[in-house]
Structure 1
């Protein structure tokens, strides 16, 4: 009597627990995830910059260039003073109102210019003038026509920032694929549906980029108008500390202005990611 043996099928590679299929990708470790982010590199760059600043100020700085530690101490001291917060309140009035006017007027204007070429021919020369004209040259005209009040500061902040918003909104409408518009019309879409379903969603990433860039320009306009036209608020503090040779307080004021600008731009970038998440997903899929 011969013994019969049953042969087992060969085990496939990549099986685990009797299941076939590709092995799940391993999740990267904590150190790898931290290294892939930008924060460690930003912290390293800041540390190198602070160390270089400290060494140069102690060796070659003198009266006009404070050290990094002196600037940090002056910044902390200013954050506890009522004078700084009063200046921040006065300066940010023009910033908030001027940038709100920029968004409300600039986004629709840019969309219309991108959609209607005839309207663009009429307004293109004025956009070019705003792009090439030095903004400091407009300040005397504002002083002569409007005065030194809040209105002139709001107008200058708006002029500084509205060009970026209009140009990017116009570019966003133009970069929408015309075949999508034709396809929407072939399915019976009217002009309103084309605007709400095709043009505005397609132009939204460029619009949000323009809003973010315009916000940075608005902060620049807020400071310049107070330095060159109205010696008040944050610009007045800069001029006062410069005249008294109080370099740590001068640098501390500039650091606070930069921190506010970075915070506002970070908030705008966060809103851009939230509103255009679908565009980022589509781009990632196309790259794959």
Structure 2
């Protein structure tokens, strides 16, 4: 075998194939350390320990300990009163957020696509962004009274701005060159919407839905604290008035846990629906 043949040979002197070695799979400890769960658990343990130590040193009547709060939360989860309140509160949340998605996503897409519509509606979006939502509650009471309708409207008002603004931004972020290229290949307005605008705006739309969901939970609780005094908000007011601090904190923990669960589900749906966007971004970074 000549020197040139040896140089072209895919095997080295030892008879092994030349080229990069396959990357080793990281160990179990390495994979666990790369995830967020261990750090979240560590933060939770530190927070719980600090909470318990503070209560033991300077706690008062209205600040229960961490373990007292856990016991009260378990007690609430086993009571029928909590589940009745959850059912009543989540009626307004589901209906209000459903209206938000059904109306906010199309409105944001249209505002992002047509400048004339945006000029007409921009001032109202700014009003909703800067107006304290608690100030709208008396107007709702005088307009539609106490009941499910007013709660649904307030949840919608709380959350729809985030959905509209993010959907509009998603349409604006689509590269105009893609639209021009689609037109040059003979695509009509319908195909531009279905093949360019909507897929390109989907990541921002899903982000707006996730942020709007958090705002919807906030609106659900505020309307019950300030207007209806029923369901979860009524339980908070009752336990506060009776100085039952562990049950008060337990109710708040349950509301926070529900909000985190809903946001986690929205983030999971966002990852599933926009997987192609992350793949494209990873390829462009190479």
Sort the TM-score into its range (normalised by shorter chain): over 0.9
8 Å Cα contact 2:158-2:219 kept in structure 1: yes
**Rg (Cα) greater in structure:** 1
8 Å Cα contact 1:63-1:247 kept in structure 2: yes
Q: Tell me the TM-score normalized by structure 1.
A: 0.95
Change (3 A) 1:15 1:219: farther
Name the counterpart of 1:141: 139
Distance apart, 1:71 and its partner CA: 0.1
Structure 2 gap segments, 5+ residues each: none
Give matches, 1:101-120, under 5 Å: 101-120=99-118
In structure 2, what is the Cα distance between the partners aligned to 1:49 and 1:68? Answer: 9
In structure 2, what is the Cα distance between the partners aligned to 1:211 and 1:77? Answer: 33
2:183 pairs with 1:190: no
Q: Tell me the TM-score normalized by structure 2.
A: 0.96
In structure 2, what is the Cα distance between the partners aligned to 1:17 and 1:125? Answer: 74
Change (3 A) 1:214 1:17: farther
Name the counterpart of 2:53: 55
**What is the root-mean-square deviation of aligned Cα atoms in Å?**
1.8
Name the counterpart of 1:3: none
In structure 1, what is the Cα distance between the partners aligned to 2:54 and 2:12? Answer: 59
Distance apart, 1:9 and its partner CA: 5.6
Distance apart, 1:14 and its partner CA: 7.8
In structure 1, what is the Cα distance between the partners aligned to 2:97 and 2:226? Answer: 20
How many residues are aligned here?
Answer: 283
In structure 2, what is the Cα distance between the partners aligned to 1:219 and 1:108? Answer: 22
Name the counterpart of 1:256: 254
Name the counterpart of 2:80: 82
Name the counterpart of 2:175: 177
8 Å Cα contact 2:11-2:17 kept in structure 1: no
Name the counterpart of 1:282: 280
Change (3 A) 1:15 1:245: farther
In structure 2, what is the Cα distance between the partners aligned to 1:235 and 1:74? Answer: 17
Structure 1 gap segments, 5+ residues each: 1-5
